[in-house]
């Protein structure tokens, strides 16, 4: 069994995905815990945080060439 090494670009993609997940989770969490501070945009920020988290998870789990 041979294992392929991660190329630099693939590694960067995984790290960027992890950063996006952290940003998305923090955005959603802080918006949900303090909805008054976000005002009318609370739902928008929560939805954007979930979308960014999903994109980050996609980047982490997608298999590169």
Quickly state the pLDDT bin for 1 (edges 50, 70, 90). very low
DSSP three-state, residue 23 = helix
Residue pair 28/49 in contact (Cβ under 8 Å)? The answer is: yes
Name, in order, each residue with C-beta under 8 angstroms of 60's C-beta and a sequence gap of 6 or more. Answer: 14, 17, 18, 21
Q: Is 39 left (phi over 0), alpha (psi -120 to 50) or beta?
A: left
Percent of the residues in the chain that have a pLDDT greater than 90, as a whole number: 58
When the pLDDT of each residue in the chain is averaged and rounded to a whole number, the result is 88
Percent of the residues in the chain that have a pLDDT greater than 70, as a whole number: 88
Average pLDDT over residues 41-51: 93
């Amino acid at each position: 069994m041979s294992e392929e090494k991660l190329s630099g670009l693939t590694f960067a993609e995984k790290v960027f995905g992890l950063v996006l997940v952290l940003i998305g989770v923090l955005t959603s969490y802080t918006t949900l815990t303090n909805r008054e501070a976000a005002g009318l945009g609370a739902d928008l920020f929560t939805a954007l945080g979930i979308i960014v988290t999903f994109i980050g998870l996609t980047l982490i789990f997608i298999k590169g060439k």
